[in-house]
Every structure is written in C-alpha cells, then in structure tokens.
Structure 1
Amino acid sequence: MTTLYVSHPAALDHAVHPGHPERPDRIRAVERTLENERFAGLVRVLAPLAEPTVATLVHPEDYVEAIVAASPKSGFVSIDSDTTMSPGSLEAALRAVGGAVHAVDAVMNKECANAFVAMRPPGHHAEKTRAMGFCLFNQAAIAARHARKAYGVSRVALVDWDVHHGNGSQDIFWDDGDVMYASTHQMPLFPGTGAASERGSKDTIVNVPLRPNDDGAVFREAFEKGVLARVDAFAPDLVLISAGFDAHHLDPLANLRLDETDFGWATRKLMELADRHAGGRLVSVLEGGYSLEGLGKSVAHHVDALMGR
C-alpha cells in the first residue's frame, strides 16, 4: 500500500496581492520538497475539478452560488479583509475540494494506504456561510461529510494542528455527533475562537489551546493528553488532518516554537490511531504554513511519516 499525493497546477493560479502570506510560492515550496528522490514512491495524481454542488455538503447552496458568482474575470475581488478572489481562484478552490474528495475515495477504496492533498486556498476558516482567513470552501470538512454520505462511515475524526484555530470546521461540526473536530492552536491569535470551553452540542469539539512561545515538548504533551486521548476514545472509522504547518518556529504569522520533527511525530501518532480504529485510513489536507523554509521542512517530515519512514 502506498501514499497518494494529490495536487494540481491550478493551485498556482489563485493569485493574491503582493505581500500576501498565502501565496503561490507555498505550493512551489511543497513541490520542490517532494521532488526529492526519496519521495519517488509517492503515487501522484492531479486534483479533479469538483462541481460546485459538492461544496453544499457543508455550505448552503446560496453561499456556494455567491462564491461562484463573485469570481472575477480580471483583477481582484475582496471577499473579506484578508480573503480575495482572482480569475484563477474558483478553479483552485474547486480542485482543492475535488482533491480532498478524491483522496477519501482512494483511501476508502483501498487504492492507497493514506493521502496528502497539497492545494490552496486553504479551507479550515470557511464557516457554513462565511468565507474568511484566506479560505473559500472548507475542503477538509467537505471530505468528512463525503466519507459519511458516500461510504456510510460512522465516525470521522478531523484533527487540526494549524496554529490558527479552525473556526470554520468547528462551526460546521458544532452539532454533529458523528464528526469529532479536535484542534491544537495558539491563543490568543486569529480568529479568536478555540477556547477549551468550546465543546460543541454533542461534546465532539475538542480544543487544546497553546500559549505564545510554547515549544515542541509542550505541544507533544498537549496533543497526546488533550487530542489523541479524546480521538482514541471516539474510535473513528476515518482520520482526517487539517495539516497547517504555521506552528513552525520560522513562521511569520504566529509565535509557537515547533520544528519539523514535531509534525512528523504527530503524523505517526495519528497513523497509529488510524491503524487501531480505522484500518489505517487517513487523509491529510494542507492548510497554513507561511515560512517557505518551515513549510518545506515540515512537509518533508509529514510525508516521510505517511510513507512509513
């Protein structure tokens, strides 16, 4: 069984204003990393273009239609203060959705052991009816709902280690007892959500906030006790990762002090959990990570772990 790598050149066509941290160079950094010969064993596929209706698994139809209608023919359209669309943004976002769904299909159909989807824009800040934080559609959440609908998966765990709390995923799954959303993140920090007291109406929201300057040792202890223990008890049939790498100490948008080995460790821990409960089924979806050096190093350790190294 192999690791699937899902990407598409359309991710480069989601243009942003000069100086914007969520830029096409992020994908180039990932691609450069995975060009190394030690990743030659990856099965590489192009992310398919999802129909907009696929996004209605988590977003209302009128919201999806509004995002489609906002797509400009030239220039930029501001969706909120830090979220914009350019002529290439809609295809990139729909291929991000399509890539996440395809990865779930491949894992559920035993075509691969696990998968990493490297697309942009990211998704975990996109709430049911609100785009924000660089995000248009919440592709990790869509992947979770797709697994439930298409394969009858009983319980899905979505684990988010992005340094920013995934307010969108929390919003989507607040009342969903069949999807556990578990997050480590820095507080205080954008978007201001993610307190430990935010537990969802079915007690399936797990927030483990970290403080500025917390390092890898603090992260590992919090992840093990706060996230892994809860997800283990939930016994998911599928594990999804919102894999943001902006908790790396080189990242310019936050103040945690993780290094790339921490992401490899966390990946292996979730793989062990997936082996125990889910037949190894695990799909990772790229979220943040704004230091190109930190992103590249972190992706290398993440994918090494997925490949069993």
Structure 2
Amino acid sequence: MATALLTHADCLTHVTPDGHPERVARLEHVLHALEPLDLHRVTAPLCEDADILLAHPQSYLDRLEEALPHKSFHQIDGDTWMSPGSLNAARRCVGGAIRAVDMVLDGEVGNAFCATRPPGHHAETSTAMGFCLFGTAAIAAKHALERHGLSRVAVVDFDVHHGNGTQDLLWDEKRALVITSQQMPLWPGTGAPSEKGAYDNVLNLPLPPESTGADMRLVYETRVFPRLRDFRPELIIVSAGFDAHQDDPLAMLNWSTDDFRWLAQNLCAVAAELCEGRLVSTLEGGYDLQALADASKAHVEELRKASQ
C-alpha cells in the first residue's frame, strides 16, 4: 500500500512577521525534501465548521473569524499571529488530517503524513497559543472516534514543546490515550508526570535539557511502546515536531536525524503490531530549516517503508 502526503498551497499563505520562527519557509523546505519520494499525493481539503467543533466551541471559532485581518497581521499573543490567509491554512490542516484518517481507516493507503501549517498541538479548547489555532491532532482523534466508531485512539507527540492543547482537548476523553515527550523545563511549562488526564489517559514524559537521542530511545522503549501495547489503539496519530533536533534554535535536546528515523520506524512497527499499521502523522514544530527538512524526510521514508 501507499503512504499519502496531504498538503495544500493555502498553508503557505499563513504569513508571520519577519524573524518569526514559524514561517512559510518551513513548509517549503519540507515539501522540497519530500519531492523525490514515491508518495500518494493528496490535496488537503478545507474542513467544515463541524469538524472544528468536534474539539472547540463555536464561540472560539467566532472569535478567530472576527480577528482575521484583511491585510497585514493580527497578534493574538506574544507568539501567535494571524494574517489574511491564516484561517484557510488552519482549515487545510484540520481538513488534511481528517482526510488522512478517512483514507487510512478505509484502507486506501497504509499510513499518511500531513505536511501542513500552522501547527496545532498548543491550541487549547478556547485559546490560540504557541503558533497554533486549531488542535489538529485532537480533532483527528475525535473524528476517528465519533465518525468512524473507533473505541481507542492514541496520540503520540514527540515535539520538543509539550502538547498542552492536545492534552486539554482530550483530557476528558477516555477513549483517547495521549502520550507526550517534551523538554522540561521549557515553554509552555506544562507536561509534568502528575498531569494524567481524567481517566489516567495522559502520559507525560519530560526530558531534561541536553538529553540525547539515546535517552529518548530508552524512554520510548520502556514507557511509550509498552503503554501503547497495553492500550491497544485502533489508530495511532502522531504529532510530529522536529524541534528536538540538536540544531534547533528554540530548545536544548540533542536528537539527530537518525533518532527521528528510529522513532518513526518503531512507531510504525508498533502500529503494525497493534492496529494493522494504521498511522496518521501531522507536522508540528521544527525551526532549523535544514534539520526540519532532513528529519521530516527520514520520518516519511520510514512511513513509506512500513506501508509497502
């Protein structure tokens, strides 16, 4: 079977001020790196309001639509900006992830990667933050649960910053297991092991600054993969942030591109063992352009191998 790549040019129209780390060039570099790969390329559709409302209230969506600028920028907080194309870009992120879930669960492809932006895993129920507007991974999980009738969906987030939004959106969802590894201390300051979800459905695995890929591998082998096997998800959704790379300017973890390759290979192996390989991955962070491109390519190459 194939690996689907879902993206859209609208994701290049979310523009941030000069010098902002979450910039258009991020996606351009990822797409250039993936261009040689044999992938099933799919246009990410615009999501419907009903898709966003799986996780966010109407009042939140209304506020974002009212805040959308007709020109220039609107600053939501110290880190998060909107430009005229931002909501369409974010809707492509959600629409792409939902389409990817549909394709994987319907057996059209073996797995999928959504090369879209802005990222989503910091968007809380009614708060845009950390470059994020909509909780893409959480919405995809809700879609799988509510519309496909799945009983168990796991979200694995290896972005260097804690996925506080995904945790918030799925905190009370006993059918979802949220596993996150993140540098601590680091913004946003959440992600302590004591944060376990309403149904013991959240597993936070903080990693200290300057820890290495070997440290990460040990944590995933001893904590993440066993917890996934205990939960036995019917689908795994990956929040694929590549900012734990040793070259990334926004954090202090020392993972290599080979570490990201190892992680993708093993997540795919666990998916093959537990849920017929059904895995959907969506791009989150990563702010050194070359490191982001290299790690994204390694990640998708492993997805492609697993789907063959």
Structure-to-structure mapping, 1:179-258, within 5 angstroms: 179-258=176-255
CA shift for structure 1 position 146 = 0.3
CA shift for structure 1 position 67 = 1.1
Measured against aligned partners, the alpha-carbon deviations of 1:197-237 in whole angstroms (never above 9, x if no partner) come to 11112111000100000011001001121211111110000
> Which residue is 2:104 aligned to?
107
Measured against aligned partners, the alpha-carbon deviations of 1:60-90 in whole angstroms (never above 9, x if no partner) come to 1111121122111111111111101000101
> Which residue is 2:9 aligned to?
9
> What is the CA–CA distance in structure 1 between the aligned matches of 2:162 and 2:187, rounded to whole Å?
7
> Which residue is 2:79 aligned to?
82
CA shift for structure 1 position 307 = 0.7
- Say whether the 8 Å CA contact 1:96–1:120 is kept in structure 2: yes
> Which residue is 1:120 aligned to?
117
Q: Secondary structure at the match of 1:242?
A: strand
- Say whether the 8 Å CA contact 1:163–1:245 is kept in structure 2: yes
> Residue 175 of structure 1: which of 172, 177, 180 is its match?
172
Say whether residues 1:98 and 2:95 are aligned partners.
yes
Question: Which structure 1 segments of 5+ residues have no match?
Answer: none
> What is the CA–CA distance in structure 2 between the aligned matches of 1:67 and 1:47, rounded to whole Å?
21
> Which residue is 2:270 aligned to?
273
CA shift for structure 1 position 287 = 0.2
- Say whether the 8 Å CA contact 2:135–2:169 is kept in structure 1: no
TM-score normalised by the chain length of structure 2: 0.98
Q: Secondary structure at the match of 1:165?
A: coil
- Say whether the 8 Å CA contact 1:187–1:210 is kept in structure 2: yes
Q: Secondary structure at the match of 2:90?
A: helix
TM-score normalised by the chain length of structure 1: 0.98
CA shift for structure 1 position 52 = 2.5
Give me the identity figure in percent: 50
- Misfit runs of 4+, over 4 Å: none
Amino acid at match of 1:180: L
> Which residue is 1:28 aligned to?
28
For this pair of structures, how many residues does the alignment match? 306
CA shift for structure 1 position 94 = 0.4
> Which residue is 1:130 aligned to?
127
Q: Secondary structure at the match of 2:117?
A: coil
CA RMSD of aligned residues (A): 0.9
- Say whether the 8 Å CA contact 2:45–2:92 is kept in structure 1: yes
Amino acid at match of 2:203: V
CA shift for structure 1 position 53 = 2.6
Question: Which structure 2 segments of 5+ residues have no match?
Answer: none
Amino acid at match of 2:191: G
